[in-house]
Structure 1
Amino acid sequence: MKHKDQVLTNKEQKAILIRLLSYAKNHTKTLLFAFFLLVLATVAELIGPILIKIFIDDYLTPREFPFEPLLWLGIIYVVLHLSSVFINYFQAFLFQTISLKIVQELRVDVFSNVEKQGLAFFDRTPAGALISRITNDTESIKEFYLTVLANFVQNILFLVGIFIAMFYLNATLALFCLVLLPIIFGLMQVYRKISSRLYADMSEKLSLLNSKMNETIQGMAIVQMFRQESRLRKEFSDVNEEHLESGMKTMKLDGLLLRPAIDLISILALILILSFFGFRSFIGPVEIGVLYAFVNYLDRFFEPVNQMMMRLSLFQQAIVSGGRVFKLMDHEELAPVQKGNDSPKINNGEIEFKNVSFSYDGETDVLKNISFSVKQGETIALVGHTGSGKSSIINVLMRFYPLDRGEVLIDGKPLDTYANRELRENVGLVLQDPFLYTGTIASNIRLYREHLTDTQVKEAAEFVRANEFIEKLPNAYQAEVTERGSTLSSGQRQLLSFARTIATNPKILILDEATANVDTETEEAIQDALKRMQKGRTTIAIAHRLSTIKDADQILVLHKGEVVERGNHLELLERKGLYHKMYLLQKGSDLERV
């Protein structure tokens, strides 16, 4: 998915607006009630000037002040004003409640779709850009529902009411005032056309800011170790400057086409009305009450227009953000899923690769005609230099990426016929860099699989000897784990990942250089745990240290995506090929360290 956003056409903006409004269909009843209250409040506000017009023309001008009619006129005016205040409060509360619920639904929909994407999508999409869309862009959409939509509906309804009142007072002058509508509408269209491009650019710069910030924070240890603070600060400052420039352009546009332009139109309209009544005064008497009501309505007419114009920037931001969010929601690069209606079960965990070829980009094969089989309880090790295809075999077996050519079988059944749940529950994966979540030790082992009891969690920890350090922590299994488990050693994090994996008792065990980043003492504990974990399970191990896979039933030596050697440890040493060279190099390195 391309990171750069394109300027939206009018047709695209309209489609986005319709889609945003479609989220309101689940709240139809509440919306209708809110609209009903809005109509009542609008009517109450619009009747006020008419009551004052009646007072001026029927009582003040002829200097007649009967007590009872004036009392009722005053009571009605006060009641209408108070009613308008209370009704406006409740209708605004309802609109905002609906708005918050809609944005909540939208965020869940966006996040749910992101979770469904395959790993190929995350390989190409910066994490900061995704975070920006799920947080910043949905926040802009929230403003659309909270501030823009309710305001536009209320003010449009108010404008319609004003014109009805104007026609009631003087149809000729009301027709003159209608000329203002196409002028204002044209101004809005010009603003939207220009601001669409500016806000798209500003949103893109914000995504770049988030991406740069996320990347820097995630790699802070490297940044500080290689003294890259100044360089990254400058890069961040440059992107921030570009974001500022984009924001300044929008501010200049708002300053020119929003309130100042409307104020100019309102002055021209006031001149029109006063001129009309001025010429009328040469012909005959002018009703002061009607003049007051028209001027009052004109003032009330431009106030909602000003409010709508001032919120056009928020509206345009929301449309741009909506386009970015819906683009993410519509993106389909989904993780491979089950094919067919059969639901086979993994009983033995036997694995077979048949002439498997695979490419990440669709052009360059990283695996070429890979074939091997592993029986239940056997261990197969994958060795080779960086880029030889070891991790790609794991990615294919875990069904993280779609298979290009060839076939992968588990217990004699094609990999793609297994349900995702069956596959994930019976294939345990331990990575070189285990990922821990904020929470507790117990929750990281359980991973919210509620069927796992506290006893099972503790048994899993004991099985891999993780209990030895867990029980020394304050609160033991309820000890807090910080983000990515930064307060634990690499060995402790790895032991927790072992416990997490063994807790579900998988039939197949995949070890991706599980001992590469741990100290010698912890490695001994892990190796001891591994032997017990592998017993009776089909195991595929990516090995960095060849000394850890001497007992493997079969070793595949990979080079540039192909299997160049296969056999057990002794057989491969006797051939004196690539494995033999790798072994001698590592053995020499080990002797140098000693």
Structure 2
Amino acid sequence: MASESLDFVPQASGQHTLRRLLRYMLPYRRTVIFALVLLLLATATDVLQPILIKVFIDRYLIPRHFPKPAMIGLGGGYLALVVMTAGFNVAQLLLFQVLALDVIQTLRVELFDKVQTLSLAFFDRTPVGVLVSRLTNDTEAILDMFMTVLSTFVQNITVLVGILIAMFALDVRLATYCLVLLPVTVAIMLFYRKITAPVFHRARQRLSLLNAKLNESLQGMAVIQAMRQEPRLREEFGTINQAYRQARFRNTQLNALLLRPLMDGIYLLALMLILWYFGERSFAHVVNIGVLYAFVTYLSRFFEPVNSMMQRLNFFQQAMVSSERVFQILDNPDLAPQQEGDHHPVIQRGQICFEDVSFSYDGQTDVLKHISFTALPGQTVALVGHTGSGKSSTVNLLLRFYPVQRGRITIDGIDLRHFSDDELRRKIGLVLQDPFLFVGDVSSNIRLGNTWITDEQVQDAARFVQADTFIDAFDQGYHAPIGERGATLSTGQRQLLSFARTMAMNPAILVLDEATASVDTETEEAIQQALAKMRHGRTTIAIAHRLSTIQDADMILVLHHGEIVERGTHQQLLAQKGLYYNMFLLQQGSTAAP
């Protein structure tokens, strides 16, 4: 079974993780303080209730004296305390709930922002479902902690302190005996955390793998059904699901043993201690029934918050594990290459120069070896070669998707590392072989959030690549809705929209990854005409699989095993009768074959 890995694993203690989580509450400190004040008031009114009952028993019930004013005062006071306790609790719980939603909203935005800055190498080795699980399931577990665990722990600890104070006020010796319950309870909680942490880690890992398999299956449903892979996928999904079930079942077993049953046993022992204490004293002293009632009531109320906290240890432990997984992403140092230096150079002419560039994805095997070439402004440089020859890697370095490890790339004589991301993305237009469209409409997919691009420029770009023909045929024209990944459009239509998207930016440099591979012959001819106009005055780097599309390139680079083995124009390379010549003959033969 596949394993979940994000490579970078921070080493952090549970206390450090909890402190880091609590720091997200600092911007809401006023809300926290107000909620804590309400919590203290709720605790005080709750703890005072048994005191009134004690007074009633000792002063009025045992003497059988029930003066009306006193009864009204005690009854009204008790009722007022109950109502006040309920009101304060509702208010403080509501504040904690709102606080939890605000904190998780902040954390999710921060996590999503971090994901946007991670390098493509990170995404190359990380399944999408794993990331989705951390952005959704793990943050949801943290939300549960803030909404139920945090408020419960703060409230119950406050109640426990209030109960202990009341116990000491009634009987110091017996309260000291009961004080032993605190370290026992804390020890049980710590023991529970220690033995359940690995279980929760396994459960969260299995859940991430479950999401990864689900995401892969849904995205590849067409292939799965076409290749009749449903039984295999069901078996694989069932295996992962069973592993997740086993991890959760182990967690359930530990909860059944260490939570409520164990604390109920301790409660019975404590109750026996109190009854023994008062029974022993009854032989030599008069037993105050009111104090006995108050102690038994306080003991019951003591274990109510303890049991409540023990029950929520399950959520707390899940939240701690999920927090570690979330912080693992937030602390991941594998960021996309960033601008170096304080200057902000501008791309004007678009001259590209590779100077002895070598690159490796894994740090061991070079996929590019000593690549050197210059693309002058207005020139078209084509990259050709067999699969795995290094064409896409060359383009990825130019777009600064990956850092240049050895050698140097310059644009207009300025090192690529000195340009800002905004300058590179605005001045370098990219058209991929498999275009990606977003949910929205036609206009938003061409504009891509660039508000400075007007509606007129959007339409001009569409007309430039001759996409206006099918756009005008839509009932809503440029406002026609587009589904996820453009599923309602043909492959050729999606490609034309990606062309229009690039032209709307009016870039100085074009990067084309077999841009016409997905369109029909008639559309390809129209796009080739548009490409000729697009390339005029712009530097163009084109990855080509069909050699017929780049015969007019100013320079063709033939890559083989990461090296440039041939370079020249189409006619010059044919005259050399080398690798390019053999590739051309092979494609011509394939085209001519019946």
Instruction: Confirm or deny a common fold (TM above 0.5).
Output: yes
- 5 Å-filtered alignment, 1:53-452, equals 53-452=54-453
- 5 Å-filtered alignment, 1:478-517, equals 478-517=479-518
CA contact (8 A) 2:6 2:126 kept: no
SS in 2 for 1:182: helix
- The residue type paired with residue 323 of structure 1 is E
Q: Are the structure 2 counterparts of residues 177 and 480 from structure 1 closer, same or farther at C-alpha, using a change threshold of 3 Å?
A: same
SS in 2 for 1:541: strand
Q: Report the Cα offset of residue 267 of structure 1.
A: 0.5
The whole-number CA distance in structure 2 between the counterparts of 1:280 and 1:155 is 31
User: Normalised by the size of structure 1, how large is the TM-score?
Assistant: 0.98
State the match for 2:544 in structure 1.
543
Q: Report the Cα offset of residue 11 of structure 1.
A: 6.4
Q: Report the Cα offset of residue 10 of structure 1.
A: 11
The whole-number CA distance in structure 1 between the counterparts of 2:398 and 2:409 is 7
The whole-number CA distance in structure 2 between the counterparts of 1:112 and 1:48 is 50
- The residue type paired with residue 256 of structure 1 is L
1:361-403 deviations in whole A, cap 9, x for unaligned? Answer: 1111111111111111111111110011111110010000000
Calculate percent identity across the aligned residue pairs. Answer: 55
The whole-number CA distance in structure 2 between the counterparts of 1:93 and 1:245 is 36
The whole-number CA distance in structure 2 between the counterparts of 1:523 and 1:216 is 33
Q: Report the Cα offset of residue 518 of structure 1.
A: 2.1
Q: Are the structure 2 counterparts of residues 9 and 157 from structure 1 closer, same or farther at C-alpha, using a change threshold of 3 Å?
A: farther
- The residue type paired with residue 553 of structure 1 is D
- The residue type paired with residue 512 of structure 1 is D
- The residue type paired with residue 508 of structure 2 is K
Q: Report the Cα offset of residue 217 of structure 1.
A: 1.3
1:266-297 deviations in whole A, cap 9, x for unaligned? Answer: 01111111111111111122111111111111
1:394-449 deviations in whole A, cap 9, x for unaligned? Answer: 00100000001111111111111111111110000000000001111111001011
The whole-number CA distance in structure 1 between the counterparts of 2:434 and 2:466 is 19
SS in 2 for 1:487: coil
- The residue type paired with residue 534 of structure 1 is R
The whole-number CA distance in structure 2 between the counterparts of 1:529 and 1:286 is 101
RMSD: 1.4
- In terms of mean alpha carbon deviation, does 341-350 or 305-314 score higher? 341-350
Structure 1's consecutive aligned runs of 4 or more residues displaced over 6 angstroms after TM superposition are 8-11
The whole-number CA distance in structure 1 between the counterparts of 2:294 and 2:440 is 65
Q: Are the structure 2 counterparts of residues 10 and 351 from structure 1 closer, same or farther at C-alpha, using a change threshold of 3 Å?
A: closer
Q: Report the Cα offset of residue 225 of structure 1.
A: 1.5
- 5 Å-filtered alignment, 1:571-590, equals 571-590=572-591
The whole-number CA distance in structure 2 between the counterparts of 1:198 and 1:374 is 57
The whole-number CA distance in structure 2 between the counterparts of 1:498 and 1:336 is 26
Gaps of at least 5 residues in structure 1 are none
- 5 Å-filtered alignment, 1:25-44, equals 25-44=26-45
1:135-174 deviations in whole A, cap 9, x for unaligned? Answer: 1000000001001000000000000000011111111111
The whole-number CA distance in structure 1 between the counterparts of 2:12 and 2:294 is 40
Q: Report the Cα offset of residue 76 of structure 1.
A: 1.2
State the match for 2:562 in structure 1.
561
Gaps of at least 5 residues in structure 2 are none
The whole-number CA distance in structure 2 between the counterparts of 1:404 and 1:355 is 11
CA contact (8 A) 1:389 1:559 kept: yes
SS in 2 for 1:349: coil
The whole-number CA distance in structure 2 between the counterparts of 1:9 and 1:102 is 22
SS in 1 for 2:473: coil
